[in-house]
Amino acid sequence: MLDQGLEQLGLVPQLQREAIALELGAGRLQAALARQETLRIPLRDSARWKLERVDLMLQANSQAEARALLAAASEQLAGQRDTPARRALEAQAARLAEALAD
């Protein structure tokens, strides 16, 4: 049903995120990763996109790729001006870094 809506409306990031959550709930991690990849271009490879992908990669046990993407996201965040949104993303990056260290 959600896929039919996406076909009619085109790629809507909010709907795709809902679809990702449904895939995760159903235990289909690879499908969730594939759906998340479709958001790379519309979200302009943003730090938020990278951090969301790192989270999925951790669940998929792809630690090397997750580390590289986390480093790229952290570097991208360092170049942005200080805002509440940036600080929230930096906190998320720190949590993900801790998870990678475990």
Model confidence over 69-82: pLDDT tens digits? 999 999 999 999 99
Q: From the CA atom positions of the chain, what is the Rg in Å?
A: 14
- Which pLDDT belongs to residue 43? 87
Q: What is the pLDDT of residue 9?
A: 59
- The mean predicted confidence, pLDDT, of the chain is 90
Of 26, 27, 56, the residue nearest 39 (C-alpha): 56
Query: Mean pLDDT lowest for which of 7-11, 14-18, 40-44?
Result: 7-11
Structure tokens at 18: 């809902």
Q: Which residues contact 4 (CB under 8 A, 6 or more apart)?
A: none
d(C-alpha 57, C-alpha 38), whole Å: 15
Q: Taking the model in full, what pTM does it have?
A: 0.86
